[in-house]
Each structure stands twice: as structure tokens, then as C-alpha cells.
Structure 1
Amino acid sequence: MSDLPALGWDATLASAYRPFDRADAVPARVLRADRGVCTVLAADGVHRASLAGSLLIGAAADPAGLPCSGDWVVLRRWPDRRLTIEIVLPRRTALIRRTADKDSTGQVLAANMDTVAVVEPMHPTPDDARVERLLALAWESGAQPVIVLSKSDTARHPQAIARQLGELAPGVRVLPASVRTGAGLPELRELVAPGRTLALLGRSGAGKSTLVNALAGTEVMGVQEIRRADGKGRHTTAYRNMVLIPGGGAVIDTPGIRGVGLLETAAGLDRAFADVAELAGHCRFGDCRHDGEPGCAVESALADGTLVPRRLESWRKLQREVAVESGRRAERLAGAAGPDRRRPRR
């Protein structure tokens, strides 16, 4: 028997499930989502379930409505022993990135996590711009972000690197971690305590699957060697998977991300660049573009060294990207609605 409360089942979820409670239905949590079928965990164990027609129809208009790892769902048992997922219960949090197509649709990477760990390896060197981008995604999810600097045993001064990166992440905890030395693992285990879910986000070769194995106490995710020259490797995890932690909660491993597009993440950007947003709030003009206007607090910070040019340019780049994708999404939704073909009254 599975302990659903240890996975985060609480009074709020029970209330959301109550309208669908019937003799042939049970609540379950999605461990893995494949094309048209999911692996789910219910109170009586693990099952494979297909998607109800209503879910598939809804996904045609909004693919983000499909179940993903971490979702709580209504599982229906049929007389012929078939199992179908009928409803995805409301998500508390959701990690959503923009898909690679031109329609500016969203792909849900994980749901109902309490913490999102941006995993960045210390070797060969952390990529500040990538961390900033992933932090914006993490903040937008509604969960609490944390930065995990993996493979800290490869650095001579890991704490110094952590302090330096922490300056780019206001309000975010930075944890150097090493599976070899055990550094940072006690702190990570706190994030997968009973009732809590941790999602890992980072590029291929960052060490996410190795961290999952360490937290689980056994090899549940495959790992591969990476190139020594640049620290990169092929995608080890090709799917999103939620792993149960013995005596604890769960961790969601996501595929290595070569590039992650932002979608409707204005609030996440403000949190990821809280220092820049605060400076912009002190500009003389509310519509200041920070490009030669008088009384610009952002340019003053650049002049006195409080703000470095690279960080401002990173903020501007992501702001432009979000604006473009928001416009595309608005056009797509307007096109889906179609023109008003009603005839005028006579």
C-alpha cells in the first residue's frame, strides 16, 4: 500500500477530488507520462493508465492540460480492468517552458513540486546566463527555487563560487553538492522530506540523475560519462520521471535542457532579476528604457559598479524574448477564436 500523504496528498487536494469521488474512481499521482499513457501511483500500487477522450480533446486546444510527472489525477477503473485518467486536479505549481514550435505553446515539465532546484555543474565553470534563465522559469512555477552547484569536488574553492553565484540570485539558496564527498546531500534530503516534492532542472550532464540516485539510495536513473573538455554529454534522461524517496517524499528528474524558451514569465523575471527590477523602480520616469534618460537609477548603478553590464544585458534579452512570445501567443489565441461570423440584425 502506498502512503499518499507522504507524496503530498492533503486537505486541499481531497477537497478538489471530492466532486469526482465515486465507487469506480481513486486519486493517483503521475510518476511518468508517455504518449497517450501514464504510469501512476494509487493507494494500492503502481498502474499504467490511458488518457480519457475528454483529456485528449482538451489537449488539442491546450497541450499544457495533459498529465505530467507530479500531477494528481482522477483514476477510473472500468469493468474490463482498463484504467483511464479522467481528470487532472488543479496544480499548485507547474514548471512550464515554451515549446520549440512557432505557436508559443507551453510544455509542462513537472507539477506540484515544492522546490525547483536549478542544477549547474561547477566543472568547467557555471554559466551565469543559463542560471538566470532557469531561475526565471523556476520562480514563475510558483515553487521555491534553489541553486545546486553539482560536482563541487571538482572545484578548489566551491564556497567562493557559491557566494559569487549567489550575488546573481537574490533570495535564492545556493548549495554546493557532491555525490562523491556527500557535500550538500543532507540539505537536499530536507527538500524531499515526507510530503515534499523536489524537481531538478538543468542541462544534460549537469548531474541531475546522479543526485536522484544518491537521494534514492540506489540506482534508479541511468547515468553516462561526460566529455572532460567541456563537461557536456548526451541526454541521459529522455523523459520526465518522479522517483519516490524511501522514508520521504519524491524527486522529479527532467530531461537535460539544451535551450529553454520562456513563456509568460514576466513575474518570474522580476523575481530572478530582483536587483534590476528594484533599481528600475527608482528611475525618475515610470517608462524609463534605461538608455540615456535623465534620472535613470539603472544607469547610475552601471556607472558606480553596483550593476554589471552583463547582468543588465541578460535581463534585457529575456525581457525581449518574453515580449515576443507573449505577442505570438496572443495572436494564436485570437486566431483560434476566429472572426465573428454572426450576421448583423435587421
Structure 2
Amino acid sequence: MIELYGWSDAWRSAFEPHAHAGHIPGRIIVQRREANLVATDLGILTARLSGRLRHEAREAGHPAAGDWVALSAKAEQGTATIHAVLPRRTAFVRRAADSVQTLQVIAANIDVVFVVTSMNADLNPRRLERFLAAAWQSGARPVVVLTKADLAEQPEAQAAEIATLAAGCPVLIVSALQGVGLGAMMEHIRPGETCVLIGSSGVGKSTLVNTLLGEDRMATQDIRAADARGRHTTSSRHLILLPGGGLLLDTPGIREVGLIDAEAGLSTVFDDIEALAETCRFRDCSHTTEPGCAVRAALEAGTLDAERWAHFQKLEQELAASGQAKDRAAQEVQRRRLAGQQRAYRSSKKDLLDPSS
């Protein structure tokens, strides 16, 4: 059964130490706060973390949908205990909403990231660049999917424009309403591979899931006429088997993607700017007033779009600020840890000196 969920010789090799410990493999197919649903050769089991793993998760994060895990199972009760998480090949990560330091994995062991945006008023090249940078950073293969082509007057022209900033990844034109482009999407998912759809709410992710599955598995909502945007329609993370043999991890809609340690992803999306910067006269060129600046020359000649350059600078500043905030948070944790150790030391010393103790 687990072969349907992507189990392979490579995963079997990685699992060997856990097999020797008497555990069985499984993959998390529904991620929940208290108990996950895990696909195993014994069936779909409700699995909770072991005490040790729950303690470790406070620092390392909880297992995510798509993770391969080591379990001890009670098949007759339909339950299991998760003892370990296998090292992830890829991961799509965002900053936890209530923490600067804590990272949240929202998709694990993904092979293909479909970066979805619609060809209505929501089509925004700057937002797409942000999603692409995060997609490249995940380690998976990005594919741009332009949905709602039936609403566009010139879909081919718009796709060609998007292709210029897509860093060489495929750009697909799709209309779920007209059944256009769905076969092209499926060609990017080989049997046993896992894909994920990311993008702003209202771009048609849930509709795509329903269409690919041939059933209304996910709830959908109409977009708001005022701004062509929608509301979140998916509230949990499910790993779903596709008819063609692949898998799709459906995640809640993401309005904003924070770039976390994503220098490589940013460099890939903006490789044209990186190439220009390498030809500046000075290695440490700030691209402001230095002579021989290739970036400024391209801006003046119109070969580098000013909005694209401004967005690149904005994302670089966001990355820098994120790193600084993370460092500050780590320093604060270290400060509190040392303060606690000092208090414990003073208390123990006081007990030794107190003759009444």
C-alpha cells in the first residue's frame, strides 16, 4: 500500500535503522494538531507523537503532511505512535505566525511545486516572483500554472510575459472550466511523485484539485468582484492520491509567503540581476553612485525593468531583516538559558553555605 504513497528503495534504505528497532514505515497523509492520519501497510492509522518526539518537536517542529515516519502500531485499534521522522528530501517552510524564530513546515518531501496564479485581475508579477523564490528554495521543481485562462483576452501573450521572469521553469496555461492544460499539469507528476499547489487565495487551487481528482473533494468559493480575490477554502493539509499515480498535497491558502533563508531561491528567480551585478566594475558595488555599475546602466537603458529591480531590493531587505530577527531571537533564548543556569548555580551554592540546610 505505501508504494502508492511514494515508498521507494531510497526511503527503504533510509528506514533500515528504524526497521531494526521494530518499527514500521508510514507517511502522514492528513496533518492535525493532536493526531495525524498515516498511511501504512496495515491501513490508515491515527497516530500520535511519542513523549520523546513531542518534547523534541518543541524545538525542531512537528511532523508535517508528506513526512515519512517510524511507527509502532496497534492495527486492531487503528492507532499508532510516531517515534521518528525520516530526514526530508525537500521542504516548503514558512515562519510560524506567532514566532520569529520558529519555522513551520507546511509540505514535506515534495517533488513538484505548482506556483498558481490566475489570469484575472489577481495576476501580479511581483507576487509571483516571491512565490517562485520560495518554491526554488524548497528543493522541488517549480512549475508556473496560470489559471482561469478563459477570463484572459490574450492568454498566450500574458504567459510569454510571465515566462521572462519564471527563471526557466515551465509556464502552463490552464482553464479548469474549459478543461484546458490539465493534461500538461499531470505530465509533470510521475507515478509516486508528490506535488503541491501554492499561491494566493482565490486563484483556483481548490478548483484545480477537484478537477484533477474528478470529484468535489475541496470546497470552493466565488471570488470577490471588487478585487478578483477569494477567501481560504482549505483548512487542513491532505495528501491525496491522483488517478494518474501521483500524489497531491493540498494546503491552506497562503496570502503572504515569507522568505526564510532563501538566498539561493532569490538568486535563481533574479538570475538576470545577479549576472548584471557580477559585471559591475567594483565587487562591492551598491548599485547607487559607483562608476561602472552594470545594474544602473541597464536601468537607464531600459533593459532592466525598474519595478523588477525595486522588488529584488525589497526581497533582499526582507531576507536580511528576517535573518537579523532570527539572530535576535536566538540571542534572547541563549540569554534566558544562561540566566536560568546562573540562578540554579546561585541557589545550589546558597544551599551548600546554609548550615541549616
TM-score by length of 1: 0.93
Which whole-Å CA distance do the structure 2 matches of 1:330 and 1:15 have between them?
36
Cα gap change, 1:80 to 1:154, in 2 (>3 Å): closer
Map of 1:332-343 to 2, 5 A cutoff? 332-337=329-334, 338-339=337-338
1:294 correspondence with 2:291: yes
Deviations 1:267-290 (A, max 9, x none): 111111111111111112221111
- Tell me the residue number matched to 2:66: 70
Residue identity opposite 2:17 in structure 1: P
Moved more, 326-335 or 45-54: 326-335
- Tell me the residue number matched to 1:31: 29
Cα gap change, 1:236 to 1:12, in 2 (>3 Å): same
Deviations 1:140-182 (A, max 9, x none): 0001111101111111211110110111112111111111112
Of 44, 47, 51, the match for 1:46: 44
Which whole-Å CA distance do the structure 2 matches of 1:264 and 1:204 have between them?
24
What 5-or-longer segments of structure 2 have no aligned partner?
Answer: 346-357
Which whole-Å CA distance do the structure 1 matches of 2:20 and 2:73 have between them?
10
Deviations 1:189-247 (A, max 9, x none): 12333121111001111111111111112221111122123221221011222111124
RMSD: 1.9
- Tell me the residue number matched to 2:307: 310
Map of 1:195-206 to 2, 5 A cutoff? 195-206=192-203
Which whole-Å CA distance do the structure 2 matches of 1:240 and 1:117 have between them?
16
Which whole-Å CA distance do the structure 2 matches of 1:309 and 1:141 have between them?
28
Which whole-Å CA distance do the structure 1 matches of 2:173 and 2:3 have between them?
30
1:163 correspondence with 2:160: yes
Which whole-Å CA distance do the structure 2 matches of 1:28 and 1:190 have between them?
27
SS at match of 1:21: helix
SS at match of 2:10: helix
- Tell me the residue number matched to 1:16: 14
1:234 correspondence with 2:204: no
- Tell me the residue number matched to 1:259: 256
SS at match of 1:204: coil
Residue identity opposite 2:73 in structure 1: R
Which whole-Å CA distance do the structure 2 matches of 1:246 and 1:74 have between them?
27
Residue identity opposite 1:176 in structure 2: I
SS at match of 2:104: strand
Contact 1:104 1:263 in 2 (8 A): no
Of 209, 212, 216, the match for 1:219: 216
Identity of paired residues, percent?
43
SS at match of 1:39: strand
Residue identity opposite 1:30 in structure 2: I
TM-score by length of 2: 0.90
Structure 1 or 2, whichever has the larger Rg, is: 2
Residue identity opposite 1:135 in structure 2: L
Which whole-Å CA distance do the structure 1 matches of 2:75 and 2:117 have between them?
48
